[in-house]
């Protein structure tokens, strides 16, 4: 297991559409281990493979509280197959857009189909924070960031801020 570098805005790779996983092999298992190691180190509650510059449809999540035992969850090739009309708002943040938080409105409930680490097809219907987090991470696999769900003015402002910060690092 290794802690990998999380790519950050304005890195163009965050806008890539990730490839489906065709076979769950040792490489995918190592990727999942690295994702968890990186996510826990950050610390965060969800991480998509594209955030460590691997364009594969793999998502890891753990919504347990710090004082609780870890409850790692893996979603391979996750896909939203149903959304509720009812919405909810959560303040979202992203490890690829550090220290920026904004309220985002999303469907309150979703049904997601995915493969588990054994390659078994699964479906899960979720609500609350889990629904928000899953939608956020699935968006990553499609090249969509949470800032795409906020006003253009706010989005432009945050993109400009991160572009400016990255130019300072390069200089």
Q: Which residues contact 141 (CB under 8 A, 6 or more apart)?
A: 17, 18, 48, 49, 50, 57, 59, 78
Determine the 3-state secondary structure of 2 from DSSP. coil
From the list 105, 118, 137, 170, the catalytic residue is: 137
Q: How far apart are CA 166 and CA 11, in angstroms?
A: 9
Residue 137 bears catalytic tag: yes
Q: How far apart are CA 42 and CA 62, in angstroms?
A: 13
Q: How far apart are CA 77 and CA 53, in angstroms?
A: 17
Q: Which residues are catalytic?
A: 137
């Amino acid at each position: 297991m290794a802690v990998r570098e999380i790519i950050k805005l304005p890195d163009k790779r965050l806008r890539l559409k990730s490839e489906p996983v065709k076979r769950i092999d040792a490489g995918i298992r190592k990727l999942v281990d690295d994702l968890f190691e990186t996510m826990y180190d950050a610390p965060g509650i969800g991480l998509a493979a594209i955030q460590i510059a691997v364009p594969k449809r793999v998502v890891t999540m753990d919504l347990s509280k710090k004082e609780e035992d870890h409850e790692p969850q893996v979603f391979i090739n996750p896909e939203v197959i149903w959304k509720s009309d009812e919405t909810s708002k959560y303040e979202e943040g992203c490890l690829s857009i550090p220290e920026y938080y904004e309220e985002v409105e999303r469907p309150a409930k979703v049904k997601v189909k995915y493969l588990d680490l054994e390659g078994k097809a699964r479906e899960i219907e979720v609500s609350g924070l889990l629904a928000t987090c899953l939608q956020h991470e699935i968006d990553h696999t499609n090249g969509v960031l949470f800032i795409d769900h906020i006003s253009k003015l706010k989005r432009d402002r945050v993109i400009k801020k991160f572009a400016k910060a990255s130019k300072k690092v390069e200089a």
